[in-house]
Amino acid sequence: MTNPTDTGPGGNTTETTPPKKATSSGNVKLSLPYPNDVFQYGPDESKHVIKGRKGVTLSRDDADKVRKLAELSGVQLLEEEAE
């Protein structure tokens, strides 16, 4: 049996959905599960922001940085390959 872990609040608030396969652009779309939640990951309030399910499309490198900041901040992200 798998033992629960204490990796964070609720056990998993920082995990992300594995990217879906078989799309091509190489970019990643990051969004938030709750439609009205906001995650600001940089200094510019209008630019460096993820709003709910609308999300934002980033290069893989940028997505990695945002993912790390989200983990640090206890933010749960949704992630999928951008078309």
Residues engaged in binding another protein (CB under 8 A):
1-4, 9-13, 15-18, 33-43, 53, 69-70, 72-79
Question: In angstroms, what is the minimal distance from the CB of 15 to another protein?
Answer: 6
Closest CB to another protein among residues 27, 37 = 37
Which of 12/23 has CB closer to another protein?
Answer: 12
Least separation in angstroms between residue 79's CB and another protein is 8
**12 three-state secondary structure:** coil
First and final C-alpha spacing in the chain: 38
Whichever of 27 and 51 has its CB closer to another protein, that residue is 51
Q: How far is the CB of 60 from another protein (least distance, A)?
A: 18
Give me 43's structure tokens.
């200094």
Kindly compute the dihedral angle of the four CA atoms of residues 42, 76, 68, 15, in this order, to the nearest 10 degrees: -170
Reported in sequence order, the residue ranges of 1-83 that DSSP labels E, i.e. its strands, are 28-31, 38-40, 49-51, 56-58, 78-81
